[in-house]
Structure 1
């Protein structure tokens, strides 16, 4: 009996670890593409004149890197649009992929997503170097975004099915923290591999990792089916088998969607805008700087685990209600973190102050994993995949607002003040509904709506 329990727990850990690695890989690929653009462009965004560098600051973009390919002469608009392709792809797949994951196809969709990502990543340097086409790279990056779209809903569906309720907050926080670990490993990978091997080999290594992951996942799917604790799957292809009308009439879920929109905008700026701005203040080798940039992300990942343990301790010991913990953590990430972002700009060209505020802004992102990210599991674990899918639609829109609207439209007459103000005040405004109406209480009546509907159809 004890052996069966240990075996079941071991299988849960293995599935969650594989999801953790998938999250880490997807984010690492996204960040690696940013470094790739720095290396391959003759005039990359990071070194463009409109960045208004601080006096005496010099930026080297891949000068010491072992680049044997011809550098691309893409315009700033072409580079910016290509950077946006990832989140445009997410918008196409996150909702349908998440809904069908919640219908019981989460493992099949997950395996397909990683395989598509692997193939797209491997062909990226070929499209850039052989075809010299930003459109071809845009399409491949679009496919990588399409592959990433359903990943979070698939993870939420798996977490809702196999993690015991008593351990759900901690285990799911660990699983979703893979994105933060991916930011750490992505920066470190790019800072080490591109200068010491080659641009093309860096993509081949990433693609090979994803192919190996896909093979292991396929073996697990066939040989190690997990034990389902809570299951809402009916293997229906109907999008409307989720009680959307009831969910979208809930103030708690609407506030979560708005919070996801604000966090998407903030997260996009911190992961793609801040590295560019940091080069303006600190200078140095923009590619090798990934080794330094990875350090606050490592602290962010450690913090995410620590605050997950803290929240569980506070809730179990009845020191704070779950609602209070979720709102407190959301306030940290959507209010305090944006204020750190604004402080980065206000510190102007003071390098030491800039470093401190950058570290604080990155580390405070850790509180999102145990608040906004897992709130769908709080509301209704049986529909977690669908709920996370729609939340990620809003998250993706927030990313596009930053990448495509706030930065791309003004790419020629770029104004850092405008971008910083958007990244500061938009998340704060989006936090207000969640802080007022958000809840961690399970919405059991949503499940009753589904049950009654199934009874009537029968």
Structure 2
């Protein structure tokens, strides 16, 4: 296997020429008979993944909204004599509505967790999530991703059903349970990437992968208001029973309907099977037991993806875990308003991520831009502009309308990065896409651990200044990631990712 322990940096023109001469793209340029996309097996797989990741994010964020109802408000509110607690006025309607909503049904427990403890509990999921990314990606690339994606969701769903019991036993038990949920869910995204390495033709990668990954934003959009409604109607324990049950149901359907690759799918047409296999070529499929770990370690493009995703995820996880707290303690929305407005930004993110995938594939298919240019454009748009809008949120003061508008615009535009850095692993090493996503997601999950803790520290007094610091830090980190990716990002297949048969013919020199 060809190995490259360094990394040469070519000019943009050389990058584009290299990408256009890539055998993967040449396969698509040939006169392959392209079967209809509508109702195809690959499109159905993307839809199944879409709903799977909607469930995944529902299981992940349910605690963010339920926490408002789980916690005894008298123990977490700032001192009434503190002027910072009165920065944003609370209307009498909101007070009455909030008191009615937060009064849970008889027998539903409430807990005296302060803001630091809440931050630890919200970040606990990501402690476990860190540890299964790389093993999940490696094993998915070796044995196929369907069992790991379905199994990860199923395990997380079953554990979610035990959340009320763990909370009753104490904060330490809940922390451990959430960490175990993260441990089970950590294999899902690497497994998705490993499956698309076998299923996604090069000119359809962006639209298929952004459609499936957009389920995350859709899940957050649905989970936030649905969680608020269930908390109000049935009490917060019902949130975890409903989310866990939905995850179990989806897992059953997944195992019945999905196969690891086109060759083993019982209901795929011969035309579609031949199209997918021929267009992907030798770079898809299983990577075997060995992987080029040392070349990966010294790969500048891979480290660029890692750092950029860490920077992007800081702001994403900050909003995902802490936005309901901001809506509650600063803007003083009641729980039903809180859950709906917390969900609104993810509606825009869902729509823009799907649209960006279609546009990115169109640019490549028409040869208007090379892979590197497309990935950089969508990454910069999806990180730099949202960073500026986050700063605007920090200076929006007590205006709920301005804050929600800026947050919605920020997350909507941020969806564009789905067609950029977040699918770059399959560009630079299709064969190892699963394990690369495991590696990048492992590092990318670190902000999920640190961001809620940082929010708990920076905004512990629930002041406008504290939350301004939260939003400005998130914006600065995102801008740094966009700058680094502009300098060092690439869409070229790396030498260490080239298969043995192509190495023997010397085609690796094109990369």
When normalised by structure 1's length, the TM-score is 0.88
Q: Name the CA distance, whole Å, in 1 between partners of 2:132 and 2:311.
A: 20
Q: How do residues 162-181 of structure 1 correspond to structure 2 at under 5 angstroms? A: 162-181=199-218
Contact persistence 1:39–1:62 (CA under 8 A) = no
The answer to whether 1:426 aligns with 2:464 is no
User: Partner of 1:78 in structure 2?
Assistant: 117
Q: Indicate whether 1:67 and 2:105 are aligned.
A: yes
Return closer, same or farther for 1:221/1:83 CA change in 2, 3 Å cut-off: same
Report the alpha carbon displacement of residue 441 of structure 1 after superposing the two structures with TM: 2.0
Give the match for residue 159 of structure 2: 120
Distance between the aligned counterparts of 1:172 and 1:322, measured in 2?
15
Offset at residue 220 of structure 1 (A): 2.9
How far off is 1:224 after superposition?
4.2
1:438 and 2:489 matched = yes
Give how far 1:442 is off.
2.5
1:271 paired residue number? 320
- 1:349 shift after superposition: 2.1
2:419 counterpart residue number: 370
Offset of residue 288 of structure 1: 4.4
> CA 1:169 to 1:379, structure 2 compared with 1: closer, same or farther past 3 Å?
same
Match of 2:50 among 7, 10, 20: 20
With over 3 angstroms needed to count, the CA separation of the structure-2 counterparts of 1:102 and 1:53, relative to structure 1, is farther
2:65 and 2:324 in contact (8 A); partners too: no
1:390 correspondence with 2:439: yes
Q: 2:178 aligns with which of 141, 156, 178?
A: 141
Distance of 1:176 and 1:57 partners within structure 2: 38
Offset at residue 6 of structure 1 (A) = 6.4
Cα distance in 2 between the residues matched to 1:318 and 1:233 = 29
Q: 1:349 to 1:380 in 2, by over 3 A?
A: same
Partner of 1:379: 428
**How far has the Cα of 1:449 moved from its partner?**
6.7
CA-to-aligned-CA distance 1:394-421 (integer Å, 9 cap, x gap): 11012223123x2345575673343233
**Distance in 1 (alpha carbons) for counterparts of 2:64 and 2:475:** 22
Change (3 A) 1:291 1:351: closer
State whether residues 124 and 137 of structure 1, in contact with CA within 8 Å, keep that contact through their aligned partners in structure 2: yes
When residues 272 and 301 of structure 1 are mapped into structure 2, their CA distance, relative to the original with a 3 A threshold, is same
Cα deviation, residue 11, structure 1: 2.4
1:237-386 matched pairs, under 5 angstroms? 241-386=290-435
Partner in structure 2 of residue 191 of structure 1: 228
How far apart in 1 are the matches of 2:88 and 2:475? 26
Number of the residue aligned with 2:467: 416
Aligned equivalents of 1:441 and 1:44: distance in 2? 56
The answer to whether structure 1 residue 57 and structure 2 residue 87 are counterparts is no
Name the CA shift for 1:412/1:64 in 2 (closer, same or farther; >3 Å): closer
Q: 1:407 aligns with which of 455, 471, 476?
A: 455
Q: d(CA) in 2 for partners of 1:46 and 1:150?
A: 35
Provide the rounded CA distance (Å) in 1 between the counterparts of 2:415 and 2:370: 20
How far apart are residue 392 of structure 1 and its match? Answer: 0.4
Give the CA RMSD over aligned residues: 3.0
Find the structure with the greater CA-based Rg: 2
Tell me if the contact between 1:46 and 1:279 (Cα under 8 Å) persists in the aligned partners. no
> Is the Cα contact below 8 Å between 1:77 and 1:411 reproduced in 2?
no
Question: Do structure 1's residue 233 and structure 2's residue 286 form an aligned pair?
Answer: yes
Structure 1 gap ranges (5+) = 454-458
SS in 1 for 2:100: coil
CA contact 1:243–1:450 (8 Å) conserved in 2: no
The aligned residue for residue 456 of structure 1 is none
Distance 1:219 1:309 in 2: 29
**Counterpart position of 1:207:** 244
Shift of 1:4: 12
- 1:64 counterpart SS class: helix
User: What's the CA shift string for 1:324-348, capped at 9, x where partnerless?
Assistant: 2211211122221111111111122
Gap regions ≥5 residues in structure 2: 1-32, 505-511
Distance 2:69 2:401 in 1: 26
Worse overlay, 40-49 or 333-342: 40-49
Contact 1:265 1:400 (8 Å CA) reproduced: no
Report whether the alignment pairs 1:42 with 2:72: yes
